[in-house]
Amino acid sequence: MLESYVMLGRLIDLLDKVRGRKKLQKIVYLSKQIGVPFSHDFDYHFYGPFSEALANELEEMKWLGLVDEEKTQTPGGFNQYTYHLSQKGRKLLDAHPDSCTELMPFKEIIQGLNKFDARDLELKATLYFLLQSGFSSAEATKEVKELKAEQDYQDDEIEQSLVYLESFTRNNQPNAFSNQI
């Protein structure tokens, strides 16, 4: 469990802060797909790939004081959570300096993922999940529109995400599914 805390703490530290539980889930999911050694298993959930173990681990890290959670309310009345590493979490990472070697090759990619908003990451992660499950890009597009009708993803958004994922997999994990896109 300590290794997992260190990996998640290292990710949050690398990003400085992460705005949103959903966003953190999608960053960990997509990072795992390109080879970052996260141990979490993901299943499909309402907002796309989701790991109950990751959600529990984040709660444990908050409870242990390794991660700070800042709660704010959006203009729409929803809670928004922002995560950053606490001083206690920084001490844990300092005690495990070798742990950064697993994330450093992926630093720019992970930081790039954090620049997307949660809605866009939800689309990318869902498309990736569907493509990994054997859907063609046309089938995945149709499925996203049905599963996520409330998000009202437009064709150009989906196409841009598919192009991003093709580049993402081609540059970071050869032969993952780029021949399906």
> Is residue 178 scored above 50 in pLDDT?
no
- pLDDT tens, position by position, 17-72: 999 999 999 999 999 998 899 999 999 998 999 999 999 999 999 999 999 999 99
167 pLDDT band (50/70/90 cuts)?
confident
User: If you average pLDDT over residues 108-122, what whole number do you get?
Assistant: 94
Cα separation, 130 vs 153, in Å, equals 16
Report if pTM > 0.85.
yes
pLDDT at 2: 83
- pLDDT tens, position by position, 79-107: 889 999 999 999 999 999 887 788 888 99
End-to-end Cα spacing for the chain: 36
Share of the chain above pLDDT 90, in %: 76
CA 180 to chain centre: 22
Nearest CA among 52, 79, 81, 84 for reference residue 65: 84
Cα separation, 51 vs 153, in Å, equals 23
> Is residue 152 scored above 50 in pLDDT?
yes
170 pLDDT band (50/70/90 cuts)?
confident
pLDDT at 78: 85
